[in-house]
Structure 1
Amino acid sequence: MTWYFLEVERYHEEIFKNLLNQSGFRAFIPKKEMYFKKNDLMFLTQKLLFPGTVMVSSELSAIQFTEAINSWISLYEQSAESICKESNSYFHLSALEQNKLENLMNDEYIISFSKGVIQNYILTVNQGPLKGHEKEIQKIKRHQRLATLPMQCCGQSIPIILGLEVTEKN
């Protein structure tokens, strides 16, 4: 299975995911858990990992997938007008990139919140998907409960900001 990126208009991701799934594609939207603070209340929420993107899992080659999705777009021209149509091919993750992202996600394609401690300037993640990735984390914002993890995506390194709560620091 290869994961392909479909760029869509922002805030229309869920509509296109449902439309693609009804048409026989296996579409999903990767998300991450983050804390959101409003006034004095703080609660856990989900945000899009790649805003403006719907991902499609397919066994087709890049050329076959491009033909299939472009013909689907021409059939649903009015509904799919805000999908960025590519003529040559759509971006997709390599097997290594996809495997790393899959290991961070749960079955619902959500990267859960992680918890850890810092002792003697060394981070140890006790629970969550960042466990085992401590050495890869580039930056931690303790008060905002965020961690920056570099991720290879379509051949380039991009920083992904994920939820990490540091419960103790010595």
Structure 2
Amino acid sequence: MAKSSLYVIQVTGGREEHARQLVLRVLPGVAEDCYTPAYEAMKKIHGEWKLCRGVLFPGYIFVQTSDPAALAHRLASVPAFTRLLGNSDDSFIPLTDDEVAWLNAFTNVETHVVEMSEGVIEGDRVLVTKGPLRGHEAQIARVDRHKRTAELEVHMFGRTKRVKVGLEIVRKRASA
């Protein structure tokens, strides 16, 4: 039996959950897990801040399988745009160990969600005090204090992508 790996399926942006449901219908016995990684962030809805979820990698769903050829074959019967990422010569490339390690380090393994982080700004440095971003401040490319999010630069799918995650800045002070 081949080793199970994590593969990425490109889908129409904004339709990740719909595509995931369709893929699950045609993949019994082929996929061990199929999910859309998400992130938590605070959003202001009708004047109140609420904890909401957003798609971590818009336009992609993730599938754990040991048979990518069968996966690709069955995707042809999905009535929506689905394309297993790989080379042009019909070989399918699983996520690298580094990419899987990044996902496992930031997302809750059961829910596949990057939970909300909390931090402070001291001078021009961001210091994360709790949450999955703690200890990973170097990956933060930009902080949007008004939207309570941070953008991370992460190497995923063979290129550098910017992903949005929740980051609440609870205090800001000038450096001494």
Tell me the TM-score normalised to structure 2 length: 0.80
What secondary structure sits across from 1:129 in the alignment?
coil
Match of 2:105 among 103, 106, 110: 103
CA distance in 2, matches of 1:6, 1:21: 12
What is the match of residue 39 of structure 2?
Answer: 32
The answer for unaligned runs of 5 or more in structure 1 is: none
State whether residues 43 and 147 of structure 2, in contact with CA within 8 Å, keep that contact through their aligned partners in structure 1.
Answer: no
Residue type matched to 2:35 in 1? F
* 1:101-140 matched pairs, under 5 angstroms: 101-106=103-108, 107-140=110-143
Distance 1:93 1:154 in 2: 7
1:2 matched to 2:9:
no
Once superposed, which parts of structure 1, at least 4 consecutive aligned residues long, lie more than 4 Å away?
Answer: none
Cα RMSD for the two superposed structures: 2.2
Decide whether aligned partners of structure 1 residues 123 and 7 sit closer, same or farther in structure 2, where only a CA change above 3 A counts.
Answer: same
Q: CA deviation at 1:161?
A: 1.4
Letter in 1 for 2:49: M
The answer to whether 1:159 aligns with 2:150 is no
Q: Which amino acid aligns with 2:17?
A: E
Is 1:150 the equivalent of 2:125? no
Please list the CA deviations of residues 61-107 of structure 1 after superposition, one character each: whole Å capped at 9, or x if unmatched.
xxxx1x21132134xx2x43432367714453211111012110002
Report the 3-state secondary structure (helix = DSSP H, G, I; strand = E; otherwise coil) of the residue aligned with 2:166.
strand
SS at the partner of 1:138? Answer: strand
SS of residue matched to 1:35: strand
Residue 119 of structure 1: how far off its partner (Å): 2.3
Q: Is the 8 A contact 1:2 1:95 kept in 2?
A: no
Would you say the 8 A contact 2:37–2:112 is kept in 1?
yes
Q: Please give the per-residue CA displacement for 1:20-40, whole angstroms capped at 9, x wherever unaligned.
A: 445131211100112222341
Does 21-30 or 104-113 show the bigger shift? 21-30
- The yes-or-no answer on 1:80 pairing with 2:82 is no
The CA distance in 2 between the partners of 1:71 and 1:135, in whole Å, is 40
Give 1:27's aligned amino acid: C
Amino acid in structure 1 at the alignment position of 2:146: H
Match of 1:54 in 2: 61
Tell me the TM-score normalised to structure 1 length: 0.83
Alpha carbons 1:91, 1:154 under 8 Å: kept = no
Residue segments in structure 2 that go unaligned for 5+ positions in a row? none
* Pair 168,33 (structure 1): closer, same or farther in 2 beyond 3 Å: same
Higher mean Cα deviation, 21-30 or 124-133? 21-30
- 1:9 maps to a residue whose letter is T
User: How far did 1:8 drift?
Assistant: 2.1
Aligned length: 162
Percent identical residues: 27
Distance 1:52 1:122, change over 3 A: closer
